[in-house]
Amino acid sequence: MYPIKKDLLKINPYTRPGRKLRGVKGIVCHWTANENEGADDVAHRRYFGGNAISAHSYASAHYFVDQDSILQIVPDDELAYHVGAMSYHTRALGSYPNEWTIGVETCVNVKGAGFKKALDQSAQLCAKLLKDHGLTVASLYRHYDVTGKDCPRYFVNNSSAKAYGLGDSASKAWQDFKALVASYMEPKKEAKPVKKPAAKKQKFVEVIYKTPIDVRDKADFDAPAVETVKKGEVFTVAATVKSKQGQTMLKLKSGKYITAHKTYVRVFEK
């Protein structure tokens, strides 16, 4: 998730009244409904810090999320005018939900990959807020769920869902978003370190007999010796094999063969 930038509004009667929340019972998702180029999080902060106040418009939200940043303009523990109405569709958020909720606005001034990125960042922010306030995804609401307003419209209206690339069903798009939020609330599973197999010990043979012993190019004691080796010489063992006579021989890394009899050689590992 992008780092959360803060540019808090000055306390004023219309967009940041400075009243403390009575608690946090839910996180409410909104859309900015402004597709104009440049209508990003900073532009909305500028609006709620200026024109909205001049117009005496009781409106704001706590967070604005766009395709490349998250901006907080009202503290989590203060009221923002984001979900007020004459009547409400739920009693779970008290008689005046603005006193019990945090509002998250997703900017829609970009489409395609930009909008999908903004929506993903909103999901991550919602997950963080739910966890911070000890809530579950059951406490995640659309503005529509609280007041009946078609907001966020792509989670309410099927044609809008399709226009924003979220499929043919707004209801399914909302369920998918909630599932994404839930996935971000799950603790990250750290990859278990892959145990490397223990290094296989290499087998060696050391000549211990006082006089040179024969080395052959076949596992056959009757085959002529191709060389002799002296006491103290050490060779890497490739395999233990049976000679033509049925006795044990050692195949060396060189491909040649030597007796395995303990009278003549000592086999060891390291």
Q: What tens digit of pLDDT does each residue of 158-173 get?
A: 999 999 999 999 999 9
Residue reference for tokens 């024109």 = 51
- Beta bridge partner(s), residue 249: 241, 259
- Asked whether residue 116 is domain-assigned, the answer is yes
> Looking at the structure, do residues 217 and 83 belong to the same domain, yes or no?
no
How far apart (Å, rounded) are the C-alpha atoms in residues 6 and 234?
A: 72
pLDDT digits 0-9 by tens, 90-141: 999 999 999 999 999 999 999 899 999 999 999 999 999 999 999 999 999 9
> Looking at the structure, do residues 36 and 159 belong to the same domain, yes or no?
yes
> Looking at the structure, do residues 110 and 149 belong to the same domain, yes or no?
yes
Residue 72 belongs to domain with CATH number = 3.40.80.10
pLDDT tier, 255 (very low <50, low <70, confident <90, very high otherwise): very high
pLDDT digits 0-9 by tens, 62-99: 999 999 999 999 999 999 999 999 999 999 999 999 99
pLDDT value of residue 260: 95
- Asked whether residue 196 is domain-assigned, the answer is no
End-to-end CA distance of the chain: 51
How far apart (Å, rounded) are the C-alpha atoms in residues 160 and 139?
A: 24
Q: How many domains does the chain have?
A: 2
- Asked whether residue 140 is domain-assigned, the answer is yes
Give residue 130's domain range. Answer: 4-185
How far apart (Å, rounded) are the C-alpha atoms in residues 100 and 82?
A: 11
What's the distance, CA 215 to chain centroid? Answer: 61
- Asked whether residue 86 is domain-assigned, the answer is yes
